[in-house]
Amino acid sequence: AQSVTQLDSQVPVFEEAPVELRCNYSSSVSVYLFWYVQYPNQGLQLLLKYLSGSTLVKGINGFEAEFNKSQTSFHLRKPSVHISDTAEYFCAVKGGYNKLIFGAGTRLAVHP
């Protein structure tokens, strides 16, 4: 069965510092990976996705993620965060029947 583990439930960081949000997955089939962001009181918005090809994926708002098959990871990074990046971030893998299997989420708190 496919599953996603987000290793950090909360990540505090200062503004303009780099950040990495960690995600590990387990899957026995082709891997399609997604990162979503949820701002307070809003729905989930796609940040980026990996389907195939280049292992470095660039998304919106300056985020990028690297697919590492040997380590079964798909960590999300941003070189310099802003206050507006404060949100909850969800890693997900596509399962059978086109379903998304989500991790528990990582709350990113950016402090001035």
Q: Where on the chain is the footprint of other proteins (CB under 8 A)? A: 30, 32, 34, 36, 41-46, 49, 51, 90, 94, 97-100, 102, 104-105
Residues 6+ apart with CB under 8 A from 85: 19, 61, 78, 108, 110
Which tokens go with 55?
Answer: 């292992």
Min separation Cβ 106 and other proteins, Å: 11
Min separation Cβ 45 and other proteins, Å: 7
CA distance 82 to 94: 29
Which tokens go with 79?
Answer: 């070189």
Please tell me the number of Cα atoms within 13 Å of 95 on its side-chain side: 12
Task: Report the residue number, 90 or 110, with the smaller CB distance to other proteins.
Answer: 90
Task: Report the residue number, 3 or 80, with the smaller CB distance to other proteins.
Answer: 3
Min separation Cβ 28 and other proteins, Å: 14
Task: Report the residue number, 17 or 51, with the smaller CB distance to other proteins.
Answer: 51
